[in-house]
Structure formats: structure tokens, C-alpha cells
Chain A
Amino acid sequence: MSIRHGLLALLERGPRYGSQLRTEFESRTGATWPLNVGQVYTTLSRLERDGMIAQDGEDRAGHVLYAITDAGRAELKSWFRTPVDRTSPPRDELAIKLAMAVGAPGVDIREVIQSQRRHTIQAMQDYTRLKAQALEAVPADRHEVAWLLVLEQLIFQTEAEARWLDHCEARLIRLALLPEPGGRPSDTARGTSPAAPSDAAPPAPVDVPGGAPA
């Protein structure tokens, strides 16, 4: 996530001070990616060093104001114009976990899938409830519109994950790596594969970005 460009975008609307930038950033993203004030000031000083912003006096309360420069505007323009790179995907812990669970001794991959499915759908329930709240009234300003878009992105992302998990389970059944539904345990692969130790700890689900802490 680019805090740098996020701050430039907010500064394009006029000079602002540090904690004001933090508040505006979070009201648009619903604190999905919380910023601490330290991060904001570190980023501001780097942007200043790089000539993207400049100090622009103080407000009446004595806060140092920052303003975007022409170089900053050019940088921001290029950011909006350039698509976010998807050709080198970041490491996905869940994909790695399932990849490692295939054929791993003592691991019930179905249990891994189900425990993640529960966690992911629970996160979707939270996001959906927040979305319903956000839609109770027509979004009043650009901050509320931005927050709604971010929330819906989280819903789409978790939905894709839940569907992929369903797909993984169906795929494994088709490849006969998991017993068919409706099959009696005794006449399926479940009976012949080594049983997972019953006292094994349940797998810890991968946290969904921005999900409610457990």
C-alpha cells in the first residue's frame, strides 16, 4: 500500500498538517490500514526531501502545514495513470498453506479448508454488516463514498477466497484426494488414509486483511 501517494492525493486538495492527513486517510479507508502518526511524519519528511511537498507555514493552532509541489503533482498523476502491478503477486499465505497441505502427513486438508472458510465467511459477515450500515443513508461526502468502495473491495476479495476454497475442496474430491460427499466413511479413501491425530491442534486460519481481531 502506498502511503506516499495516498498522502500526495490528499495534499492535492490543499495544504494540510500531519494528524489531519492521518484522519482523512483513515476516514476514506475505514481504518482498514491504520496509520500511526509516526508513519505519517516519516513519509512527509521523505516527500519533502524528494521535493514532492514543501512546508507551507502554520495554521492558527501552530500545526506545520504541508503543500504539494509541481513535482508532487506530476508524481501523483503518474501514479493514477499506472495500473497496480499484478504480474508479480505478493506472497499469499493461504495459497502457500494449502500448497503445503496437499499430501502432508497428519494434515486433514479438508479441516484446513473448512477452518479458513469459517474465518473468511465470518469476515464477510462483518463487512456486509458494515456495508448495510453504510448504505442506510446515501453517502454524504467523498469520504463516505471512498469508505464504501473500500468495504466492497474487502467483500469481493473475501468472496473470491471463499469461492476458491469451495473450488479446492471440489477439485480434491474430483481428483479422489478426498472422499465423495454422501459416501460412507468406511468405503471411501477416508478409511484407508492414515487418520490425523485426534488431538492435533486445529489449523489457525490465515487472517483476512482488515478482519476483526479474533
Chain B
Amino acid sequence: MPENAQPSQQPVLRLQELTRVHGSGATEVHALRGIDLDVFPGELVAVMGPSGSGKSTLLTIAGGLDTPSSGRVIVEGTDITTVGRKQLAALRRRSIGYVFQDYNLIPALTAAENIALPRELDGTSARKARTEAVAALAEMGLEQLADRFPDEMSGGQQQRVAIARALVGDRRLVLADEPTGALDSETGESVLALLRTRCDAGAAGVLVTHEPRFAAWADRVVFLRDGTVVDQTIRSQADSLLTGQAAER
């Protein structure tokens, strides 16, 4: 548990004994072999591992885009592997945000409309959804992007809008799959800094990346190999690195 999480807080995302087998018989592939992972509010967890280690599978299952062969996926207290299709769709709309490598904004909608869409689909009035979307952008200092279409924005701007969309309304779980993959390292870094800020403000984030530089923004780094968690970092006190001056004061 991260130090900023209260012991009384429930994890936003809880994966229990998760397995995923593709194919069967001789061609059987075990993508996940028993994953346990809790992600608390305020926590950003990075998942690293070589290609084929199961990190993207983990994320698609956590987001309800794929179903596990066994195990439980509990989002905001609900096991999404046991609910019906309709309820799952509603849960995905209300509780889970995604950020993909290729931004996935709808080209025909402006930034504000892209952010408002999931809220409108969920029954919020168009006007209220628009107000929320603009507020979400403003919170990130991006209000000037509200009426721009995706092709009028840089990759970094589109990815920031995608983060705003992922966390609009009551959503506080953001699942990011190589969100910096298409960005130069400076822009990638600033997108990560934004994701970090959103988690500091109370969201729970899972970041899949193969870049140590981006994983380093996380509170915790989980290492996958062959579908199992082989290791993870623990959060240490960075204060010990502060200046001698600070220590003397």
C-alpha cells in the first residue's frame, strides 16, 4: 500500500488470481498465470516486462475489454467478471478510463466533445457534460484546446485530452497502455507528469510501459515475466537525497 493511501481506503482496482489462456491443447499459451494486484486511490502503478510478458493482456482484462480464464477483477468494489454485458458497459463508462498509444480521440469531435461523450452516453445532459468537459480541461490548464479537433492538436495535446477524458466525471481509474509510445521523450515526460498529477489528486492509475524513464514516475513498478509478477519496487523516502543544506536546517 502506498504511504499516501489510507488503510481504510479500498483499492479502486483489485486483481485476484488472474489467469488468461489463449488457444488450447498444443497451441495453448498462458498469457497470465495468476496475477494479484491492488491499486489504491492516489497510486500510480507501472507494469514493466519484455514483450510477451502479459502486460497488455493484464490491462485489457483490468478494463473489461477481455475476460480472464479464471480469477477476479474488482473495480470500485464490483467484480466485473460476474456482471452482465449491460452492467459491464455501464461500469466501463462510469468507472474506467483508457489512454492508448494512438490517443483514440474521435476525429469528428472537438476536444470538449470527446471528453463529454462518455458522460452524455451515460445520461448526463449535453450542457452539463460540456461544462464538465471544459472544467476537466481547465483543471489541466488546457482550456484553450476545448474547441479544437484532434487533427488541429499535436500528439502531446491529444494525449492530454485523452487523459482528461479518461478521468471525467466520477471516473478514478485510468489504464494507460504505452501512452507515450508515439511521443518524443520530452512530450512523453510531460504527459507522464500530468498523469502523475491526476493520481496525486486521487485517481488510481495503471501504466504499461517498456520505458524505464516513464515507469520511474510511478509509485510502484511491477515486473512481469511469462505472465507472472516476478518482482516489484517499493516506495522509498526520497528525502534522503535532498541537499546537505536541507539536512542541516
Chain A CB within 10 Å, residue with most, of B51, B193, B213, B230: B213
Residues of the A chain whose Cβ atoms lie less than 8 Å from the Cβ of B231 = 114-115, 117-118
Nearest residue, chain A, Cβ from B239: A212
Taken residue by residue from 151 to 172, chain A's Cβ proximity to chain B (1 for < 8 Å, 0 otherwise) reads as 0000100110011001001100
Taking residues whose C-beta sits less than 8 angstroms from the other chain, chain A's interface range is 35 or more
Complex Cα distance A157/B216, Å?
A: 13
Rounded to whole Å, the gap between the CB of A187 and the closest CB of chain B is 12
A159 and B213 form a contact (CB under 8 A): yes
Residues of the B chain whose Cβ atoms lie less than 8 Å from the Cβ of A130 = 238, 241-242
Complex Cα distance A129/B30, Å?
A: 36
A188-214 contacts to B, CB under 8 A, are 210-213
Contact (A212, B241) CB under 8 Å given A124-B212, A182-B29: yes
Assess whether B245 is interfacial by the CB under 8 Å rule. yes
A181 and B53 form a contact (CB under 8 A): yes
Residues of the A chain whose Cβ atoms lie less than 8 Å from the Cβ of B51 = 181
A127 and B244 form a contact (CB under 8 A): no
Nearest residue, chain B, Cβ from A24: B245
Contact (A125, B233) CB under 8 Å given A159-B212, A163-B212: yes
A182 and B212 form a contact (CB under 8 A): no
Q: Which of B106-114, B123-131, B219-227 contacts A (4 or more CB under 8 A)?
A: B219-227
Assess whether B9 is interfacial by the CB under 8 Å rule. no
Residues of the A chain whose Cβ atoms lie less than 8 Å from the Cβ of B241 = 30-32, 126-127, 130, 210-212
Assess whether B52 is interfacial by the CB under 8 Å rule. yes
Majority-rule SS of B interface residues: mixed
Nearest residue, chain A, Cβ from B192: A128
Assess whether A100 is interfacial by the CB under 8 Å rule. no
Taking residues whose C-beta sits less than 8 angstroms from the other chain, chain B's interface range is 35 or more
Chain A CB within 10 Å, residue with most, of B216, B231, B234: B216
Taken residue by residue from 32 to 50, chain A's Cβ proximity to chain B (1 for < 8 Å, 0 otherwise) reads as 1010000000000000000
Complex Cα distance A57/B121, Å?
A: 78
A127 and B242 form a contact (CB under 8 A): no
Rounded to whole Å, the gap between the CB of B76 and the closest CB of chain A is 27
B216 and A23 form a contact (CB under 8 A): no
Assess whether A122 is interfacial by the CB under 8 Å rule. yes
Assess whether A147 is interfacial by the CB under 8 Å rule. yes
Assess whether A27 is interfacial by the CB under 8 Å rule. yes
Complex Cα distance A182/B237, Å?
A: 36
Residues of the A chain whose Cβ atoms lie less than 8 Å from the Cβ of B48 = 121
Assess whether B58 is interfacial by the CB under 8 Å rule. no
Assess whether A26 is interfacial by the CB under 8 Å rule. yes
A166 and B196 form a contact (CB under 8 A): no
Residues of the B chain whose Cβ atoms lie less than 8 Å from the Cβ of A149 = none
Rounded to whole Å, the gap between the CB of B50 and the closest CB of chain A is 6
Chain A CB within 10 Å, residue with most, of B29, B30, B212, B247: B212
Rounded to whole Å, the gap between the CB of A32 and the closest CB of chain B is 7
Complex Cα distance A50/B235, Å?
A: 47
Contact (A169, B245) CB under 8 Å given A121-B212, A132-B196: no
Residues of the B chain whose Cβ atoms lie less than 8 Å from the Cβ of A124 = 212-213, 215-216
Contact (A125, B242) CB under 8 Å given A166-B50, A181-B226: no
| Beyond known contacts A169-B50, A170-B50, A182-B29: 10 more, CB 8 A cutoff | A23-B244, A27-B243, A31-B244, A31-B247, A114-B231, A115-B231, A118-B233, A181-B225, A211-B241, A213-B240
